[in-house]
Amino acid sequence: MATCKKGLYICNIFEKAIMENKPKLVYITRKEHFNAAHRLFNPNWTIEQNELFFGKCANKNYHGHNFDLFVTIKGRANPETGMVMDLKKLKLVIKEQVVDELDHKNINVDVDFMKGQLASIENIVVAIWGRLEPFIENGKLHCIKLIETERNYVEYYGED
């Protein structure tokens, strides 16, 4: 720094001090679990078209999954609490808005927020985002990850 002007050097030290005291951006994640049944079936297609495209997932008697749901919020910790969001509150919001609505239900028949939509994991995860986003405090919903099987999952990051 010897070649810098004294004023510039002091300015850089001041900016660095401000940045070091600024709360850092962190990501918090809550994992939940629910069981639900669904059927992949497009009512505008014939039964044969549905069976050809969706295979066993078009079974007229539905099929079930043990879903794992990960909800990630990003934000800066509140200096008074040290938290981005109280995880107890996040747990309650996820329970009320998602788990209670989906657990041990037939997504195609019993879940109001999925009415009129094909019950694909992609559509489910987007609908979950819409249910949770209004309740996120002091941060921003970053990602919803929904695991359908050990080999299949979807991540949704919103429309930013």
pTM: 0.85
CB 67 within 8 A of CB 119: no
Catalytic residue among 33, 96, 104, 137: 104
d(CA 146, CA 119): 13
Domains and CATH numbers, the chain: 23-156 (3.30.479.10)
**What is the per-residue pLDDT across 74-132, written as a single tens digit (0 to 9) for each?**
999 999 999 999 999 999 999 999 999 999 999 999 999 999 999 999 999 999 999 99
* Residue of higher predicted confidence among 12 and 46: 46
Question: Is 32 assigned a catalytic role?
Answer: no
| Catalytic annotation present for 20 | no
Does 48 score more than 60 pLDDT?
yes
Q: How far is CA 134 from CA 76, 140, 159, in A?
A: 18, 10, 15
| Integer Cα distance of 93 and 87 in angstroms | 10
